[in-house]
Amino acid sequence: MDKKIKKIIFTGPESTGKTTLAKLLAQHHQTVWVPEFARTYIDNLKRPYREDDLLKIAKGQIDLESFFYKKSNQYLFCDTSMLVLKIWSEYRFGKCHPFILEQFEKEKDALYILCGTDVPWEYDVQRENQNDRGELYLKYKKELLKANKNYIEVVGNQGVRLEKLISLL
Q: For 90-112, what is the mean pLDDT?
A: 96
CA 9 – CA 52 distance, rounded (Å): 24
Structural contact between residues 33 and 23, judged by C-beta atoms closer than 8 angstroms:
yes
Q: For 4-18, what is the mean pLDDT?
A: 93
In tens, the pLDDT along 144-158 reads: 999 999 999 999 999
pLDDT class of 97 with cuts at 50, 70, 90:
very high
pTM: 0.91
What structural domains and CATH numbers belong to the chain?
Answer: 6-168 (3.40.50.300)
